Amino acid sequence: MVIVVAIIVASWFAWSVLQRPNIIQIHNTLTTSATPMLVKKTFINDAFEARILYPKDVKPGQEIPVKVCAKAKNDYVLTGLVIRAYPYTLPGLIVVEKKDRIIYENSTTFSPPVKRFSTMYRIKLPEDLEGLGLSIVITPIKPRKPIIVHLSEPIIVNIKVAGVTPKTSTLPLINKTVSIKLPPRPWSNLSISTDKKVYEVGEHVRITLTNKGSKTVKIKPSIPWVIRPYNPEKNRISYFCIYEPPRDDKWIVLNPGSSVTWIWNQTSTWGFKVEPGNYAVVLVDIEIWVEGESKPIGILGGVEDVNATFTIVEREGRNT
């Protein structure tokens, strides 16, 4: 009888442990002596609430866990996230010397979109750290036609590295409110334009990138721009893309005075025709090489001072 009771109690205990919520099991695992103690930061906007669990401090060469939990709000759902780690602390605008300095990059896509998720990533740190910065982008949408993509800034988390004095990215921030002399920007002689400022729904938009400088410029990917919503009242370009062309690893070469033109048919990334409104063409996540320079420069994020804004309006007599 005693043996039977002991077996029943042991079985019930094992079953109860297995039935606990996953977050509790993971939390217990993460706080063992073999894994760094995690701290939590919460980020809230109109579309979602996110919790990031990460080590308070780390050592070079260590493998660390980073957990991302998010819950959509209102009518939004979550389509995915991208997480990147850099070997230095991050400012608000991410500009790096070379794109391959990203020490970790991963993405998770939810198809169909979800109301909440909890995802764990493990990042192996290199030995040569100048700091540690995480950039996490969560994409919320409203699933209607056309799909509405919420403007959500990237979540930036900087983590202390033992024995290291933090350093930020190698190029200065572009801040129009500060009176300092900035070094030449490799894209300063590039311009992007559209053939018109106002289009009717369904019209093709001709997008042209021109090298106005005296040196040859190479840039990749071969379609280096995206389409984003634009707010003319606030002079603000949305962070998220209404249309993003396929990305590749091919260079386009622009000799002095030359240009390349693409045609966009007003279709979103999801295959729907975009709604009337204000939009901007922006260079995003590019590598650029200028003649005479020893190596290319990588820019992560939007190069918003090389853009073209335009408006899409309803066709006249559309209701006929």
pLDDT at 115: 95
Residue 188 Cα distances to 7, 87, 199, 234, angstroms:
75, 27, 28, 24
pLDDT at 310: 96
Domain with CATH 2.60.40.1930 in the chain: 34-161
**Could you list the pLDDT tens digit for every one of the 320 residues in the chain?**
444 444 433 444 344 433 433 333 333 333 333 556 889 999 988 889 999 999 988 999 999 999 999 999 988 899 888 898 989 888 754 444 444 478 998 888 888 889 999 999 999 999 988 889 998 988 888 776 555 666 567 888 999 998 887 665 543 333 332 232 334 566 678 899 999 999 999 999 999 999 998 999 999 999 999 999 888 887 888 877 889 898 898 999 999 999 999 999 999 888 888 989 999 999 888 888 888 887 787 776 677 678 899 999 998 765 54
Residue 78 near residue 131, CB atoms below 8 Å: no
pLDDT at 16: 40
Q: Which CATH class is domain 190-313?
A: mainly beta
pLDDT at 302: 72
For domain 34-161, the CATH superfamily is Macroglobulin (MG2) domain (2.60.40.1930)
Task: Name which of 307, 303, 305 is nearest 281 in CA terms.
Answer: 307
Burial class (CB within 10 angstroms; exposed 0-12, middle 13-18, buried 19+) of 169: buried
